[in-house]
Amino acid sequence: MFNPERFRVVLVNTSHPGNIGSVARAMANMGMTNLALVDPVQFPSERANAMAAGADTILEQAQVFPELADAVIGCQRVYGVSARLRSIAWTQLDPRQLSEEIYSAPQDEQIALVFGRERSGLTNEELDICEALVHIPVDEMHRSLNLAAAVMVVLYELRMSLYDAAPNPKDIGRKNASDKASSEQLQFFFDRWDATAKSVDFYKGNAVTVMRKIRRLFYKADLTDEEVKILLGVLTALDEELDKEQ
């Protein structure tokens, strides 16, 4: 069921403060309150307050972060929203599939919904932090979505679960959110993996592309906290053995 406290709307490097205000208004319409701003070009701003149309509290309580990784700390699921269809590397969901995925997962998981820059969206490095991409099904000839419109569509889909027949949570072998690895745990694991792979000269020049495929592979596995610890244990054992020889 819809619990607005689970959701964090994250805006990355927004250019126009008016758009931040419009997003706050859309959030208020859909009953959401948690807004995080990553490196906003201008904030706070009178223009943002004017566009918020009564959702000022959301702006007042918005948290500002220097980097996306900081803004998603504590979240078990991080989704990047895009109007562009990306090539292969990321799992892609439409907003309805996102909603189904979230509501069939444990209901105490914290969710970050990440929206990129007005013109250029999210960088590949920012997308690396996202376990999947949410693609809003726009007309291919007119893909330029207003930021608040994109937020509205995604939040509307999530809110509609209030009005659907309650979905039957699938048994995916996890009892509660604390079982799912957090975003920061995963990023730590990826960094460790990357360092070990480099230390044995695995990549041979394709580091970024190959590491992206490896991220995707592990995102697909929907890793638990315990599983990440096992994998980190393997890396530690490997690194200790590799260090001996130097």
Q: Tell me which residues in 151-210 interact with a copy of itself (CB under 8 A).
A: 152-153, 156, 159-160, 162-164, 166, 169-170, 172-173, 196-197, 199-202, 210
Q: At its nearest, how many Å lie between a copy of itself and the CB of residue 116?
A: 16
Q: Which stretch binds a copy of itself (CB under 8 A): 5-13, 41-49, 63-71, 143-151?
A: 143-151
Phi and psi at 93, nearest 5°, equal -125, 150
Identify which of residues 12 and 83 has a Cβ nearer to a copy of itself in the complex. Answer: 83
Q: Does 136 bind a copy of itself (CB under 8 A)?
A: yes
Q: At its nearest, how many Å lie between a copy of itself and the CB of residue 84?
A: 13
Identify which of residues 66 and 88 has a Cβ nearer to a copy of itself in the complex. Answer: 88
Q: How far apart are CA 31 and CA 24, in angstroms?
A: 10
Q: Does 213 bind a copy of itself (CB under 8 A)?
A: yes
Q: At its nearest, how many Å lie between a copy of itself and the CB of residue 37?
A: 20
Q: According to CB under 8 A, which one of 9, 81, 145, 147 is a site residue for a copy of itself? A: 145
Q: Does 232 bind a copy of itself (CB under 8 A)?
A: no
Residue 221: Cβ within 10 Å count: 11
Q: At its nearest, how many Å lie between a copy of itself and the CB of residue 58?
A: 9
Angstrom CA distances, 1 to 60, 107, 164, stand at: 27, 8, 9
Angstrom CA distances, 232 to 9, 104, 125, 219, stand at: 30, 28, 22, 15
Q: Does 120 bind a copy of itself (CB under 8 A)?
A: no
Q: According to CB under 8 A, which one of 53, 69, 73, 232 is a site residue for a copy of itself? A: 53
Q: How far apart are CA 117 and CA 108, in angstroms?
A: 29
Residue 169: Cβ within 10 Å count: 11
Q: How far apart are CA 91 and CA 131, in angstroms?
A: 7
Phi and psi at 87, nearest 5°, equal -70, -160
